[in-house]
């Protein structure tokens, strides 16, 4: 064991916590100076994406005393409110920086009062409105030169341009690109109409030394018509000048590694972008790219083969973009299980050796743990046989990778054992409903749509997870990983029996009368779909519906798993559950995307859905958990709306704050940034 880089104090703490010397996987000290100073200088708190702060002013004893310091309603800070508001701000140099509103306006704020100090607004006109990702996005990035003389903020706009700003004034830095902006639709190794609405990005660009790395997002490709989309290549730019340093072709060009996995169809397929946040190891000089699927989401007719590097994690050299290794987690994907979030980088000790590792959370609820130098799995990942599509045109992959360890953090596959059994009547109703659907284990492909056949295949995890873009958080002192996930039934729609090419040509013109499978026929609505909710509002599957899982990454053991959300009114108050006990905390059901924040002693996350409290107010709780045991920390902190952006924390003028984005939704959007502090 190499003790030189670890302080004895940290070792002592770790030994006390874990108890066994032989099992001590001490964490390499990758807490940055910024984190130690109580700053939050990058989306994931550090380049390892830990979402961790060593601050402890807010702790288990006083969490219950938290009160709102200020609230900023962002609805008017753009042309329309942003109903998604999935942003995490930055705190650096005593200032809070955020992106807000549909136009992704950048604001600087006084962290103690929320007062706006400056605002930077890019009016991109038609091009901005045509972007594939509108809204505030995930946030922005910060850079400081090595000699400390220059600082900048960076973000990618809805119109897919990258802007460099002076953090003091919000003015563009003229020496970057053209007058402070680079057009990301140029220099992209493909021809893109400047007004093309197929591409955009809401993730923050990744600053690694003097390189800034940018991915791409696309319009969703639910139907096969959308095959001819742009390709989501990844690029690295010089952070001072904006000159393109490298490009990585996530769909390889002829002659490049992986091209042959497309069976000659690489040119006519698109997407495979990195819309997720990325991580980097500056010591190794590597950037880790979580790649999404190629188009289309549920149909691989146009892309026979494994299709590298779709649904793969790729490690590239930060200076050259050269691929060092890759690992594909899903071959020929049919479930929209893009890699959605940054891998968490950490060090561990296994068989007496220190390994630089990473853990990649996924929508499908697997946590893939690899050596981040070589891409080799830490624990075996097995290729196992999976269900095959009946459609003659779909070349399903015969196998998919299954990590043998750690265990998945959420439910996979659907069977009768998953049916709601809160009452015998509900169970009976559930049994009737599933008769009209197909069910199966994970990686069951879409069923064929036939008259009298199943309406769809019930699927877990959902196409939106499991886990999703928030990813997880990590405690580097104890090597613990925390991940929120939700359990939401998905109807995987049927695929047509006879595949008429649902294609548009490269010029966008439909080549035939394209119709999606499974729903109405032209001229008719078709039969009403059976609902996957019992008695109007109770999920077909049994709870819990969302959870936070803690892993010990020294061993891969699952330490604890807690149901997270308070039961929503529409489930709680359904007459079919009258008299049933223990209904208070079944978890939040639905599309919720929750990021956790880890501090010195707490795991903190807000609820993704609201409920009515004793006073008749609509609230969502900001919850805190004991890091070791998962027990609820005492305190009932009510937020005015549900969490939509992942929380962060910082120390400002001797006070610790927690800031989180919440959104009311419905007709009055109410996208707010809320700050909590002790009295």
Task: Report the interface residues with another protein, using CB under 8 A.
Answer: 80, 83-84, 102, 129-135, 197, 219-223, 226, 297, 336, 456, 463-464, 490-491, 493, 515-516, 518-520, 522-525, 528-529, 531, 533, 535-537, 568-570, 573-576, 589-591, 665-667
- Nearest Cα neighbor of 306 from 259, 339, 371 is 259
Q: How far is the CB of 575 from another protein (least distance, A)?
A: 7
Angle 319-323-325 from CA coordinates, rounded to 5°: 130
Measured over the CA atoms of residue 427, residue 431, residue 437 and residue 440, the dihedral's sign is: positive
Residue (301 or 551) nearer to another protein, CB: 301
For another protein, give the closer residue by CB, 15 or 83. 83
Q: Where are the alpha helices (DSSP H) in 119-200?
A: 125-129
Residue owning tokens 């790649």: 291
Total residue length of the chain: 679
Q: Which is nearer to another protein, 281 or 568 (CB)?
A: 568
Shortest reach from residue 567's CB to another protein, in Å: 12
**Cβ(585)–Cβ(565) under 8 Å?**
yes
Could you tell me the smallest distance in angstroms from the CB atom of residue 130 to another protein?
Answer: 5
- The answer to whether the bond into 170 is cis (omega within 30° of 0) is no
Q: Residue 559: which H helix or E strand, with range?
A: strand 557-563
Residue for token digits 């999606």? Answer: 516
**CB of 58: closest distance to another protein in angstroms?**
31
- Cβ proximity to another protein: between 14 and 532 the closer is 532
Shortest reach from residue 537's CB to another protein, in Å: 4
Burial of 305 (0-12, 13-18, 19+ CB in 10 A): middle
Counting Cα atoms < 13 Å in the Cβ hemisphere of 590 gives 15
Asked whether 339 and 360 are in contact (CB, 8 A), the reply is yes
Our CB check for another protein shows the closer of 28 and 226 to be 226
Q: In this structure, what are the phi and psi dihedrals at residue 199, rounded to the nearest 5 degrees?
A: -135, 155
| Residue 444: CB minimum distance to another protein, A | 17
DSSP state of 108: E
CA-wise closest residue to 44 among 373, 343, 346, 484: 343
Nearer to another protein by Cβ, of 321 and 470: the residue is: 470
Question: Cα–Cα distance between 320 and 313 in angstroms, integer?
Answer: 17
Per-state percent for the chain, helix, strand, coil, to nearest 5: 10, 30, 60
Least Cβ distance, residue 565 to another protein (angstroms): 13
* Residue 411 near residue 460, CB atoms below 8 Å: yes
Cβ of residue 267: shortest distance to another protein, in angstroms?
A: 22
Count CA atoms within 13 Å of residue 534 on its CB side.
26
Which two tokens mark 68?
């709102």
Least Å from the CB of residue 134 to another protein: 4
> Measured from the CB atom, is 225 or 332 closer to another protein?
225
Shortest spacing between CB 609 and another protein, in angstroms: 8
Rounded to the nearest 10°, the torsion over CA 513, 516, 517, 519 is -110
The C-alpha atoms of residue 407 and residue 415 are separated, in whole angstroms, by 19
**Closest CB 455 distance from another protein, rounded Å:** 9
Nearer to another protein, 358 or 489 (CB): 489
* Contact yes or no for 408/365 (Cβ under 8 A): yes
Q: Nearer to another protein by C-beta: 615 or 668?
A: 668
Residue number, 96 or 199, with CB nearest to another protein = 199
Map residue 427 onto helix, strand or coil.
helix
Q: Is the CB of 61 or the CB of 126 nearer to another protein?
A: 126
Q: Which of 247, 580, 188, 196 is nearest to 420 (CA)?
A: 580
Q: Which is nearer to another protein, 200 or 252 (CB)?
A: 200
Report in angstroms how near the CB of residue 39 gets to another protein at its nearest.
Answer: 30
Smallest distance, another protein to C-beta of residue 544, A: 17
Minimum CB distance to another protein smaller for 80 or for 416? 80
Minimum Å distance from CB 227 to another protein?
12
When the beta carbons of 350 and 515 are compared against another protein, the nearer one is 515
Report whether 542 contacts 388 (CB < 8 A).
no
Give one word for 197, left, alpha or beta, with left for phi > 0 and alpha for psi -120 to 50.
alpha
**Distance, C-alpha 455 to centroid of its chain:** 29
Q: Is 16 exposed, middle or buried (0-12, 13-18, 19+ CB in 10 A)?
A: exposed
**Maximum C-alpha span of the chain:** 75
Tokens standing for 277? 């946040």
Beta carbon nearer to another protein, 522 or 679:
522
What's the closest the beta carbon of residue 548 comes to another protein, in angstroms?
Answer: 21
Distance (Å, rounded) from C-alpha 288 to C-alpha 315? Answer: 5
The DSSP H or E segment spanning 8 is helix 8-18
């Amino acid at each position: 064991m190499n003790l030189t880089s670890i302080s004895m104090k940290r070792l002592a703490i770790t030994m006390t916590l874990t108890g066994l010397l032989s099992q001590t996987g001490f964490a390499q000290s990758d807490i940055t100076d910024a984190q130690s100073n109580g700053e939050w200088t990058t989306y994931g708190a550090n380049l390892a994406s830990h979402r961790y702060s060593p601050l402890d002013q807010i702790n288990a004893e006083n969490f219950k005393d938290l009160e709102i310091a200020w609230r900023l309603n962002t609805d008017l800070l753009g042309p329309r409110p942003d109903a998604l508001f999935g942003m995490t701000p930055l705190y650096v140099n005593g200032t809070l920086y955020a992106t807000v509103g549909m136009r992704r306006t950048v604001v600087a704020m006084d962290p103690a009062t929320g007062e706006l100090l400056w605002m930077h607004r890019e009016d991109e006109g038609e091009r901005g409105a045509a972007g594939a990702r509108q809204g505030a996005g995930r946030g922005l990035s910060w850079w400081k030169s090595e000699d400390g003389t220059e600082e900048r903020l960076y973000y990618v706009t809805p119109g897919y341009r990258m802007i460099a700003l002076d953090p003091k004034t919000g003015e563009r830095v003229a020496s970057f690109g053209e007058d402070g902006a680079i057009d990301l639709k140029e220099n992209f190794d493909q021809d893109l109409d400047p007004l093309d609405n197929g591409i955009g990005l809401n993730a923050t660009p990744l600053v690694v030394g003097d390189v800034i790395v940018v991915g791409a997002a696309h319009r969703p490709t639910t139907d096969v018509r959308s095959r001819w989309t742009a390709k989501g290549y990844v690029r690295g730019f010089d952070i001072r000048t904006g000159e393109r340093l490298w490009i990585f072709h996530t769909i390889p060009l002829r002659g490049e590694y992986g091209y042959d996995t497309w069976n000659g169809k690489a040119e006519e397929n698109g997407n495979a972008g990195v819309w997720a946040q990325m991580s980097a190891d500056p010591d190794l000089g590597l950037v880790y790219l979580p790649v999404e699927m190629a188009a289309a989401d549920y149909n691989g007719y146009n892309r026979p083969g494994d299709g590298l590097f779709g649904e793969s994690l790729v490690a590239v050299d930060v200076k050259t973009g050269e691929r060092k290794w890759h690992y594909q987690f899903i071959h020929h994907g049919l479930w929209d299980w893009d890699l959605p979030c940054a891998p968490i980088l950490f060090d561990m000790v296994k068989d007496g050796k220190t390994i630089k590792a990473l853990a990649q959370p996924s929508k499908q609820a697997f946590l893939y743990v690899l050596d981040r130098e070589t891409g080799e799995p830490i624990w075996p990942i097995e290729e196992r046989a999976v269900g095959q599509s009946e459609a003659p045109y779909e070349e399903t992959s015969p196998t998919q990778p299954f990590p043998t360890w750690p265990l998945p953090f959420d439910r996979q596959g659907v069977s009768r054992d998953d049916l709601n059994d809160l009452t015998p009547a509900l169970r009976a109703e559930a049994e009737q409903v599933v008769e009209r659907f197909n069910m199966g284990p994970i990686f069951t492909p879409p069923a064929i749509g036939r008259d009298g056949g199943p309406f769809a295949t019930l699927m877990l995890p959902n196409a939106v997870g499991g886990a999703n873009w928030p990813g997880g958080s990590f405690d580097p002192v104890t090597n613990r990983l925390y991940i929120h996930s939700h359990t939401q039934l998905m109807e995987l729609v049927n695929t047509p029996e006879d595949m008429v090419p649902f294609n548009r040509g490269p010029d966008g013109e439909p080549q035939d009368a394209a119709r999606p499978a499974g729903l109405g026929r032209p001229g008719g609505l078709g039969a009403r779909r059976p609902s996957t909710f019992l008695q109007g509002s109770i999920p077909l599957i049994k709870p819990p519906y969302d959870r936070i899982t803690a892993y010990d990454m020294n061993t891969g053991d699952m330490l604890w798993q807690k149901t997270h959300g308070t039961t929503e009114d529409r489930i709680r108050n359904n007459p079919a559950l009258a008299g049933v006990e223990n209904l208070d905390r079944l978890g939040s059901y639905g599309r919720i995307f929750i990021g956790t924040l880890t501090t010195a002693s707490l795991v903190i996350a807000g609820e993704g859905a609201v409920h009515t409290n004793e006073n008749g107010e609509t609230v969502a709780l900001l919850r805190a958990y004991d890091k070791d045991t998962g027990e609820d920390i005492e305190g009932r902190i009510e937020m005015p709306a549900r969490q939509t952006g992942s929380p962060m924390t910082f120390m400002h003028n001797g006070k610790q704050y927690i800031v989180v984005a919440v959104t009311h939704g419905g007709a009055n959007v109410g996208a707010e940034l809320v700050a909590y502090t002790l009295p």
